Structure 1
Amino acid sequence: MRMLNQEEEVDAEVTWEDQQKINSFSKLNAKYSDLEETYNAKKQEKEFLDDLTSELELVEVGEPVKYKIGESFINLPVEQAIERIEKDQEILTQELEQLQHNMDDMNGQMRQLKAHLYGKFGKAINLEKD
């Protein structure tokens, strides 16, 4: 935090509409952070599945492997395990695309709010992440 110098001070009244826009920006920013965290976790999970698929390709055909379902492990032939992993990868890809779409929408809304608020308040308001 720093103090504003006299050139940066703005003599603008904060109207009810301005306060609503500030509140909307804050809510969007919090949701965006949550989505970003979820996106990164799912992206990491997809990378793990990609690595696992690569490792399973080295296993002999018909060889049983331990596959985790919930809290249990079952023995599956390597082909079935790879099929299940590929389905999981497809689901994760769709979820990642949806999350990215939602994040892009929120980013657009936040850009509009930033433009309005910075236009009115200039450097007297800080809407950037630290």
Structure 2
Amino acid sequence: MAAKVASGTNKVFQSHDDVHISFEDQQRINRFAKHNARMDDFKAELEMKRNELKSVEEALEEIELFDEDEDIPFLVGEVFLSHKLERTQDLLKETKDTILKEIAGIEAKAKVIKAEMDELKAHLYQRFGSNISLESDD
């Protein structure tokens, strides 16, 4: 009786085909599941960073309407510091650049993980065919 493993879980389903799962195969399945979980973490982190970026961009648009002599509070850590319009715009642009770099870093890491997942998926489907399911539930 063969084992059918769903990605991201430790559930084993029994089928009528006789398929042997070697230690190396199990390591590949585990690595795929681990990468799958990391990809979910990357997706959540990207969504958070994109929302943060949107907020910064909206703030940049909003403060364009302010008077140049007006003090504008800017959150640094847990403290608000007041700056004039130009300095606040500079700080927001720096924050935007930082967020864009963080997004690019996350996307680069996700690309590397995705490439390895594709290799693992190809190998495991070649080895187990329909006896293994590596598709996400999304």
Q: With the length of structure 2 as denominator, give the TM-score of the two structures.
A: 0.84
The aligned residue for residue 47 of structure 1 is 54
Gaps of 5+ in 2: 1-5, 7-12
Query: Given the alignment of the two structures, is residue 32 of structure 1 paired with residue 58 of structure 2, yes or no?
Result: no
Tell me which amino acid in the other structure corresponds to 2:99.
L
Overall identity of the aligned pairs, in %: 29
Q: Aligned-residue CA RMSD in angstroms?
A: 1.7
Q: Which has the higher contact order (CA 8 A, sep 6+)?
A: 1
1:101 positional shift? 0.5
The aligned residue for residue 66 of structure 2 is 59
1:95-117 deviation line (CA, Å, top 9, x unaligned): 11010010011111001100111
The aligned residue for residue 88 of structure 2 is 81
Distance 1:96 1:82 in 2: 21
Query: Given the alignment of the two structures, is residue 127 of structure 1 paired with residue 134 of structure 2, yes or no?
Result: yes
Gaps of 5+ in 1: none
Q: Is the 8 A contact 1:10 1:122 kept in 2?
A: no
Tell me which amino acid in the other structure corresponds to 2:55.
F
Distance 2:43 2:51 in 1: 12
Q: With the length of structure 1 as denominator, give the TM-score of the two structures.
A: 0.89
Aligned length: 125
Distance 1:86 1:10 in 2: 60
1:18 positional shift? 0.4
1:32 positional shift? 1.3
